[in-house]
């Protein structure tokens, strides 16, 4: 049993986090009750996390770093834990996303994560669990990670400019059922009124003229460099080749022109929401 636990600690990000939490606690001579009081959590939760038996949230990792004065050690372990449920290349992308000054994204089928509601994101994650793609714990981590990304994008004093083009299918597919989808569409209406966000719909009428066949995001970074990110079913890829990214940018510019205007897009979002009532 000891051998199995050692192997699990190497391969399981949850156990690595729990083992570091236990080691740090014991190094200070604290009991689980002592640590729970310092962190503001129950000692039962501390016990579960130390054994890798409970979902770890980003807020928990931040509090652990504060209590142990460990810099960003537990936040780094949390990212390793979260990455186990994410596509290859996605972490590199989100690190750049957190620093970007402008974000342009095109999405097929589902609303992009940057502007999803938590109910909508949870429905997608739950479906992945039902398919056997990820575990329930990984689903929780995925949603928690999305919430932290959105805080960076929408609740900072220097929030980036966001331009999102959604294929009409993003509006028509009732992810999570009618109530969840109506809430998501209402959220899009609210976001569209923010000065730093522009939403446009690529209607079905554009047919084969839509230049992208997969989701694409283009980021402008603080040094004015531009990178791209594209996703397939199996993996994500950060694109840094200037010529490729420039071609993506030209295609995106053309797509903006062909899409519905912001006002017409908002009208379509509202009408679709009202149809769900």
What pTM did the predictor assign?
0.74
Q: What is the sign, positive or negative, of the torsion defined by CA atoms of 46, 54, 49, 59?
A: negative
Over range 53-57, report the average pLDDT: 81
Which numeric CATH code is attached to 2-83?
1.10.260.40
pLDDT tens-digit profile of 126-144?
999 999 888 887 888 889 8
pLDDT tens-digit profile of 178-227?
999 999 999 999 999 999 999 999 999 999 999 999 999 999 999 999 99
| pLDDT in the model for residue 85 | 59
pLDDT tens-digit profile of 154-166?
876 778 999 999 9
Q: What angle do CA 81, 33, 63 make, to 5 degrees?
A: 40
| pLDDT in the model for residue 8 | 44
Q: What are phi and psi of 103, to 5 degrees?
A: -135, 125
Pairwise CA distance, residues 69 & 54, whole Å: 23
Other CB atoms within a 10 A radius of the CB of residue 258 amount to 15
CATH number 3.30.870.10 given to 90-114+152-276: yes
Are the CB atoms for 166 and 127 separated by under 8 Å?
no
Please report, for the chain, the start and end positions of each structural domain, with discontinuous segments joined by +.
Answer: 2-83, 90-114+152-276
DSSP of 24-40, one letter per residue?
Answer: HHHHTT--HHHHHHHHT
Pairwise CA distance, residues 133 & 116, whole Å: 20
């Amino acid at each position: 049993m000891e051998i199995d636990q050692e192997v699990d600690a190497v391969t399981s990000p949850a156990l690595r986090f729990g083992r570091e939490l236990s080691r740090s606690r014991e190094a200070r001579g604290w009991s689980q009750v002592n640590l729970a009081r310092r962190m503001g959590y129950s000692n039962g939760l501390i016990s579960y996390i130390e054994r890798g038996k409970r979902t770890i949230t980003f807020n928990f990792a931040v509090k652990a770093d504060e209590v142990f004065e460990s810099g960003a050690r537990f936040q780094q372990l949390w990212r390793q834990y979260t990455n186990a449920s994410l596509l290859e290349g996605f972490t590199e992308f989100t690190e750049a996303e957190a620093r970007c000054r402008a974000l342009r994204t095109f999405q097929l089928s589902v609303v992009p994560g940057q502007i999803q509601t938590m109910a909508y994101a949870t429905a997608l994650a739950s479906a992945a669990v039902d398919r056997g793609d990820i575990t329930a714990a990984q689903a929780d981590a995925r949603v928690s990670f999305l919430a932290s990304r959105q805080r960076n994008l929408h609740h900072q004093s220097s929030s980036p400019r966001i331009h999102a083009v959604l294929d009409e299918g993003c509006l028509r597919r009732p992810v999570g059922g009618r109530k969840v989808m109506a809430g998501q569409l209402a959220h899009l209406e609210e976001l569209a009124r923010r000065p730093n966000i522009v939403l446009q719909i690529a209607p079905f009428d554009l047919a084969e003229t839509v230049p992208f066949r997969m989701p694409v995001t283009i980021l402008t970074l603080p040094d004015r460099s531009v990178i791209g990110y594209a996703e397939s079913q199996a993996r994500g890829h950060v694109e840094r080749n200037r010529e490729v990214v420039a071609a993506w940018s030209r295609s995106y510019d053309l797509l903006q022109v062909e899409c519905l205007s912001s006002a017409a897009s908002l009208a379509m979002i509202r009408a679709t929401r009202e149809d769900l009532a």
